[in-house]
Amino acid sequence: MHKLPLIAPQPPRLSEMTEALRAIEARGIYSNGGPVVREFEARVVAELFGGVGAALAVNNATIGLILAIRQAAQGRKGKYALLPSFTFAATAHAAIWAGLTPILVDSDPNDWAASAEAEEAALARHAGEVAVLVPYDTFGTCIDLARYARLSEQHGVGVVVDAAASLGSLDAEGRGFATGANFANVFSMHATKTFATAEGGLIYSADADQVEALRRMHNFGFGAPRSATEPGTNAKLPEILGLLALAKLDEIDAVAGHRAALDKVYRTSLGDTVTFQATNARRQVAQFMPMLLPEGSDRAAVMAELAARGIGAGHYFAPHLAQQPYFQRECLRTSTPVADDLAARMLSLPITDAMTEADVATICDALHAALRKPRIVVPAAPQKILSTVLIGGGPAGIAFLISASKKGKLRELGASLAVVERGPSLGAGELPGYAITSDSTAETFLSAVKDNPEPAIAALTDHPAAREIAQYVGKLGVPLHRTAPFLEAMGERVGAVVAEAGGHVLTGHEVLDSRRTPAGLWQTRIRNRATGAERDLLSENIVIATGGYQSESNVTAASVAGAPLGEQVGTRLMLCDDMLRTGGIDRLRERIAGKRAPRIAIIGASTSAIASAVLLLKSDIPFGAESLVLLHREDLRPWYPSAEAAHADGFTDFGPDDICPLSGFVYRLAGFRLEARELVLRMLRIGGRTPDPRVRLHQLAGPDPETAKLLAEADVVVAALGYRPHALPLLDATGNRIALTAHAPGRPRLADQLCRVTDAEGQPIPGAYGIGLAAGFVPEGRLGGEKSFKGKANGLWQWQNDVGQLIVDQLLGQSVSLAA
């Protein structure tokens, strides 16, 4: 059988260079920038970069990246390096070794390089904190370097291009990739690359002074004879490897041309079957042929079928960086849905110097056959009965598991637990997609990991993401868009403990429904979002942590001042959830475009209502006097740590039933905190504070002409009338849908005071529990809370402490009581 390996290194043969080797021996110069290496540096600039700029040969590309990133970061205040998650580990390692923390961003779905939108969003989010951009020229596609020059200028950041597989690529104008770029571009000459030697790297820049500075760094930082004047290391390329580089330079045009022809055959033969990378290159020096399999393909089965025919295959880069344990611990991660999809569907097929176009045809036929081959169904083993299925691995779900860890019960719980999360990772859910600050303190976020009995979770205290949260200790909350790295790092650690204990973490899966079996178990149907495959999980209990949502139909039907809100405001209605999310203010601006003095009405007395007002006041929308009106039924109450503190501040509108007997807090549950509290204190003129002149408070009390007038005058009406629970479809043993209290109109509850999911009659459903936004749990008895509170209580601290523990105890068979 004719073998076609994925990678077949073919560097030049040292055995055919005897005269050149003898010349090295005769000179007695084996390293330290000898004549062979210097000749290669000069020739590569002349032949591949049009004679523009300079180049430095180094012992490998990873060291080259470390040097270049370190140099690019010098003199800059930033602590981050911004790079795509869909790249090789060397890129992130280099940034870390250079003293920076990588921020991993998503990819472009067309050319698979870093997403421009994701990069610019991260630069805006971390303004002034990014030292270096490290884009990857994914598989030699010739990314737009002019854009990076503009970003460098606009944001004051350095740029280092990871061009590992691109030496010999020609850009759209037919020039060697990176020609004329005034920043470092780092190429690999590893044996597996198209420009194959044994090992080595090349740093090119159009700025010759920059290359000379790197030359000093690569020789121990010697800026004076045998005297270090700057950071340095030993990164010199030996003379013998310089011989290989010179020989490869002689043949690179022929090698690249041959591989380009093979690339063309692949695209012609498979274009209607797989998805290929878009390229800007006139000539792409293919190291292998990357492609995306059709959605739902079984990649492992395809690779096994190809291997049986003697065809090598790989999946670069799967897992991508944000899916690898070390980088999950050491990097800040952003949402990476495109990279997740690339990693799930990527297949790399052979392009080697020895292959022919007939070989490519053979591989394409084999791939077509493998994709057509039906999957072999292996009889399933008897289904294991789990203790619990946790549905939802977002902030509330992970807080529930944190509550178990704080009591040393996570491993006991996790031994027979499955966590099902529709997103690519645990922890963050949709929370970082909001453009407001948290109503939980930074201390609350960090308390989840501080002194946690699980060492790996406790170690997060020193994680870069925890240090990010710690910047907001003592301040008015944490910007929610900055919570993702910490929440995901916590989710990764919690998930690892569950897996170590014998449980299962199923990210990228969605739950369709859960059915009560005749034996009293829960049969939960889940679907793999990448492949569409469905299967069942059988468990004694389910915990629903699927969050809440705002229903436009419920909001429009809500009665305000005696009439349905929708009838009064029509298309001027905007749900506060939409406005509070990233981009929401821009969507609101579109609604008020052309209004010189816009008027906004916010309806509600919830935290979301006040958060909406705070967000609008912090925007650049030109509000006039009382042009932002807050219409509320309930009194607006600020939180205080004690009755004494309230009186000292001049606030007296509370009584004994408004004080939590456990903590002594005034309005522990009903009171506004942090940024919302500051606005409420001003608007109520507490302690002599001056109200914001742009805001007007108006209390609703039945039909009211003034209310109708305010609604009629508003250009946009923001409805902050609470959240409904995402109620998972629950079925009885006959397959009929169970009616739940969560299905009631308005703002219903999902669960009772023991966190048990309740049916339409208010009766608890055995083995079903709920936690999180809109679940409706209200602390009482031994859990504290003021007697006067009538609403829903939502809070990260509650979920990761008493409320979560209430469910944990029931799952582990312990009796619970709310009695004080």
Contact criterion met (CB below 8 Å) for 658 and 786: yes
Q: What is the DSSP letter of 384?
A: P
Q: Domains in the chain and their CATH numbers?
A: 22-253 (3.40.640.10), 285-372 (3.90.1150.10), 385-547+730-811 (3.50.50.60), 552-636+672-722 (3.50.50)
Contact criterion met (CB below 8 Å) for 205 and 184: yes
Write the DSSP assignment of 726-754 as a string of letters: ----EE-TTSPBPPBGGGSSSS--SB-TT
pLDDT at 819 (0 to 100) = 61
Between the alpha carbon of residue 787 and those of residues 12, 659, 753, the distances in Å are 82, 8, 14
pLDDT at 377 (0 to 100) = 43
Q: What is the DSSP letter of 640?
A: B
Q: How many percent of the chain have pLDDT more than 90? A: 83
**pLDDT beyond 70 at 470:** yes
How far is 653 from 639, CA to CA, in rounded Å?
A: 12
Tell me the pLDDT band of 771, cut-offs 50, 70 and 90: very high
Tens of pLDDT, residue by residue over 212-257, are 999 999 999 999 888 999 999 999 999 999 999 999 999 999 999 9
Residues 634, 635, 638, 643: is their CA dihedral positive or negative? negative
Q: What is the DSSP letter of 15?
A: G
At position 696, the amino acid (one-letter code) is R
How far is 281 from 174, CA to CA, in rounded Å?
A: 8
Neighbours of 670 (CB within 10 A): 22
At position 512, the amino acid (one-letter code) is L
Tens of pLDDT, residue by residue over 649-661, are 999 999 999 999 9
Tens of pLDDT, residue by residue over 307-329, are 999 999 999 999 999 888 888 87
Tell me the pLDDT band of 45, cut-offs 50, 70 and 90: very high
Mean pLDDT computed over every residue of the chain? 93
Judged by average pLDDT, the poorest of 150-154, 579-583, 688-692 is 579-583
**pLDDT beyond 90 at 74:** yes
Q: How many percent of the chain have pLDDT more than 70? A: 98
* Residue 231, token pair as written in the block: 């950071």
75-79 contacts, C-beta under 8 A, 24 or more apart:
76/131, 76/132, 76/156, 76/157, 76/158, 77/128, 77/129, 77/131, 78/126, 78/128, 78/129, 78/130, 78/131, 78/132, 78/157, 79/129, 79/131
At position 220, the amino acid (one-letter code) is F
Contact criterion met (CB below 8 Å) for 428 and 421: no
Backbone phi, then psi, for 319, in 5-degree steps? Answer: -80, 150
Neighbours of 263 (CB within 10 A): 19
Q: What's the rounded mean pLDDT across residues 180-193?
A: 97
Q: What's the rounded mean pLDDT across residues 391-408?
A: 96
Closest among 64, 80, 762 to 468, alpha carbons compared:
80
Closest among 185, 164, 144 to 45, alpha carbons compared:
185
**pLDDT beyond 80 at 596:** yes
Neighbours of 493 (CB within 10 A): 28
pLDDT at 683 (0 to 100) = 96
How far is 715 from 597, CA to CA, in rounded Å?
A: 10
H/E element, 535: strand 534-544
How far is 430 from 484, CA to CA, in rounded Å?
A: 9
Judged by average pLDDT, the poorest of 371-385, 420-434, 531-545, 607-621 is 371-385
pLDDT at 746 (0 to 100) = 80
pLDDT at 674 (0 to 100) = 95
* Kind of pairing between the strands at 158-162 and 130-133: parallel
Among all chains, which residue has been given the structure tokens 């490290």?
134
Residue 720 backbone zone (phi > 0: left; psi -120 to 50: alpha; other: beta): beta
Among all chains, which residue has been given the structure tokens 């991508």?
320
Residue 730: beta bridge partners?
A: 514
Backbone phi, then psi, for 504, in 5-degree steps? Answer: -130, 135
H/E element, 772: none
Closest among 603, 556, 563 to 702, alpha carbons compared:
563
Closest among 199, 217, 148, 158 to 178, alpha carbons compared:
148
Among all chains, which residue has been given the structure tokens 């052309």?
594
Between the alpha carbon of residue 156 and those of residues 148, 164, 250, 588, the distances in Å are 11, 25, 39, 31
pLDDT at 373 (0 to 100) = 75
Contact criterion met (CB below 8 Å) for 261 and 289: no
3-state SS string for 490-528 = HHHHHHHHHHHHCCEEEECEEEEEEEECCCCCEEEEEEE
Length of the chain: 820
At position 523, the amino acid (one-letter code) is Q
How far is 571 from 20, CA to CA, in rounded Å?
A: 80
Tens of pLDDT, residue by residue over 340-398, are 999 999 999 999 999 999 999 999 999 999 998 765 444 444 568 999 999 999 999 99
Q: What's the rounded mean pLDDT across residues 534-539?
A: 92
* Residue 600, token pair as written in the block: 């906004």
Tell me the pLDDT band of 791, cut-offs 50, 70 and 90: confident
* CB-based burial label for 309 (10 Å; 0-12, 13-18, 19+): middle
Q: Which strands sit side by side in the sheet containing 346-349, from one edge to the other?
A: 275-276, 289-292, 346-349
Between the alpha carbon of residue 812 and those of residues 357, 406, 417, 538, 808, the distances in Å are 63, 15, 12, 17, 6
* Residue 293, token pair as written in the block: 């399999």
Between the alpha carbon of residue 279 and those of residues 149, 316, 499, the distances in Å are 20, 17, 40
- The residues near 653 (Cβ < 8 Å, ≥ 6 apart) are 635, 637
**pLDDT beyond 80 at 143:** yes
**pLDDT beyond 60 at 30:** yes
pLDDT at 376 (0 to 100) = 44
H/E element, 403: helix 395-406
Instruction: Name the 3-class secondary structure at 698.
Output: strand
- The residues near 72 (Cβ < 8 Å, ≥ 6 apart) are 131, 132, 158, 159, 160, 183, 184
3-state SS string for 114-172 = ECHHHHHHHHHHCCCCEEEECCECHHHCCCCHHHHHHHHHHHCCEEEEECCCCCCCECC
Tens of pLDDT, residue by residue over 635-646, are 999 999 999 999
pLDDT at 380 (0 to 100) = 44
Q: What is the DSSP letter of 719?
A: E
How far is 390 from 400, CA to CA, in rounded Å?
A: 9
pLDDT at 296 (0 to 100) = 82
pLDDT at 689 (0 to 100) = 96
Contact criterion met (CB below 8 Å) for 290 and 347: yes
At position 688, the amino acid (one-letter code) is G
Residue 56: beta bridge partners?
A: 203
How far is 509 from 523, CA to CA, in rounded Å?
A: 15
**pLDDT beyond 60 at 630:** yes
319 preceded by a cis bond (ω within 30 of 0): yes
Contact criterion met (CB below 8 Å) for 90 and 61: yes
How far is 492 from 806, CA to CA, in rounded Å?
A: 24
Tell me the pLDDT band of 463, cut-offs 50, 70 and 90: very high
pLDDT at 781 (0 to 100) = 84
How far is 122 from 105, CA to CA, in rounded Å?
A: 8
Cα 642–chain centre separation:
39
Tell if the pTM clears 0.75, that is, is over it.
no
